[in-house]
């Protein structure tokens, strides 16, 4: 009996000692893995690599960026959900993809096993036209779609992306039918737009703000207020259409990692986002920084998820 008790005690001591040791050492003893759900060179990857040195300084630890591209993020999120809950694996997550995939298909991981840690960027969706297009405003666009149904073609960077979801919401809000022309990415959309092959194209504010505006003209953004990066562009709400859409990027980890590690990491991200050096870097990349703590970000998600579920129930975008 005594022996058993002794073993138990020692066992418990070792476990707790190990646990505190892990907490105390974090994040010094080995590199923190930061998963990017997209291939090298994508905008999320570029952002991650731009942040890396700043984040390492704030954490006082080494980080490794690991690209796990595929299935619009599902492969990376599955990987994250299977990682050890020790605070050494974080992953970038992107909305609306992270949320809309929960609506549109059965996933290989349990979305509840992942928790947001910090939001970094909130990049409003926008529609742009060619610089010499006769369409001057969102109202013009809707008027044309009403006059000649099907004649307005909207280029997006794919099915279920923020540009596409914004289009569906706009169709419902304005009672029009638009022709959806999906492209594999923003570059292709822009090319088709410049060649005059589509009427309007969906881009994010960061994809045109600060860029060359001699060939394209932003029509409208779907932010809840005017974007500081593009202050001259009206929002859809100003034009009378209650459509909000943006693409957010941030970091997430397993829900069951130690709470203090999560808090420390979130704080470090916050300090990075607020540091003038990183702000300078972000300005070059036209990143609309918008830090939110994991808790604040998570609070917004159910509402957006519900709105996607509503769209899906009415018009499933994947057929």
Which positions lie near another protein, rule CB under 8 A?
A: 39-43, 45-46, 49-50, 52-53, 64, 66-72, 74-75, 78, 104, 108, 150, 153, 158-160, 179-185, 187-188, 190-192, 194-198, 210-212, 214-215, 281, 284-286, 317-319
| 174 Cβ neighbours under 8 A, 6+ residues apart | 142, 145, 241
CA distance 60 to 106: 39
Residue with smaller CB distance to another protein, 10 or 131: 131
Separation of first and last alpha carbons in the chain:
65
Residue with smaller CB distance to another protein, 138 or 198: 198
> CB of residue 242 vs another protein: minimum separation in angstroms?
25
Indicate the SS3 state at residue 216.
Answer: strand
Residue with smaller CB distance to another protein, 183 or 244: 183
> CB of residue 76 vs another protein: minimum separation in angstroms?
10
Q: What number of other Cβ atoms are within 10 A of residue 98's Cβ?
A: 26
Nearest to 163 by CA among 188, 139, 144, 140: 188
Q: How far from the centroid of its chain's Cα atoms is residue 228's Cα?
A: 18
Residue with smaller CB distance to another protein, 51 or 236: 51
Q: Do 90 and 33 form a contact (C-beta atoms < 8 A)?
A: yes
> CB of residue 311 vs another protein: minimum separation in angstroms?
13
CA distance 34 to 64: 6
In which region does residue 274 sit, left (phi positive, over 0), alpha (psi from -120 to 50) or beta (all else)?
Answer: alpha
> CB of residue 97 vs another protein: minimum separation in angstroms?
11
> CB of residue 181 vs another protein: minimum separation in angstroms?
6
Residue with smaller CB distance to another protein, 98 or 317: 317
Q: Is 66 exposed, middle or buried (0-12, 13-18, 19+ CB in 10 A)?
A: middle
- Token representation of residue 210: 């600060």
> CB of residue 149 vs another protein: minimum separation in angstroms?
10
Residue with smaller CB distance to another protein, 43 or 89: 43
């Amino acid at each position: 009996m005594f022996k058993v008790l002794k073993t138990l005690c020692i066992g418990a001591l070792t476990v707790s000692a190990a646990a505190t040791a892990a907490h105390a050492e974090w994040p010094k003893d080995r590199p923190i893995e930061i998963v990017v759900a997209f291939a090298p060179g994508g905008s999320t990857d570029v952002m991650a690599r731009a942040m890396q040195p700043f984040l390492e300084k704030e954490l006082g630890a080494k980080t490794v960026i690991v690209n796990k591209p595929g299935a619009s993020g599902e492969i990376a999120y599955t990987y994250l959900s299977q990682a050890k809950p020790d605070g050494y694996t974080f992953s970038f997550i992107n909305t609306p993809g992270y949320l809309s995939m929960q609506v549109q298909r059965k996933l290989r991981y349990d979305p509840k096993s992942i928790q947001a840690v910090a939001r970094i960027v909130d990049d409003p969706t926008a529609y742009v036209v060619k610089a010499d297009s006769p369409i001057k405003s969102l109202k013009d666009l809707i008027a044309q779609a009403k006059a000649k149904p099907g004649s307005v073609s909207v280029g997006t960077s794919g099915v279920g992306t923020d540009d596409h979801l914004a289009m569906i919401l706009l169709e419902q809000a304005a009672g029009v039918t638009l022709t959806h022309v999906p492209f594999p990415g923003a570059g292709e959309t822009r090319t088709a737009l410049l060649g005059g092959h589509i009427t309007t194209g969906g881009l994010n504010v960061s994809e045109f703000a600060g860029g060359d505006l001699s060939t394209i003209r932003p029509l409208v953004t779907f932010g809840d207020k005017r974007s500081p990066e593009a202050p001259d562009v009206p929002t859809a709400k100003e034009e009378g259409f209650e459509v909000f859409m943006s693409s957010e990027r941030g970091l997430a980890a397993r829900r069951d990692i130690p709470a203090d590690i999560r808090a420390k990491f979130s704080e470090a991200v916050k300090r990075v986002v607020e540091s003038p050096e990183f702000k300078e870097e972000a300005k070059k990349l036209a990143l609309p920084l918008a830090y939110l703590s994991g808790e604040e970000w998570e609070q917004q998600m159910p509402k957006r998820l519900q709105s996607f579920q509503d769209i899906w129930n009415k018009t499933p975008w994947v057929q």
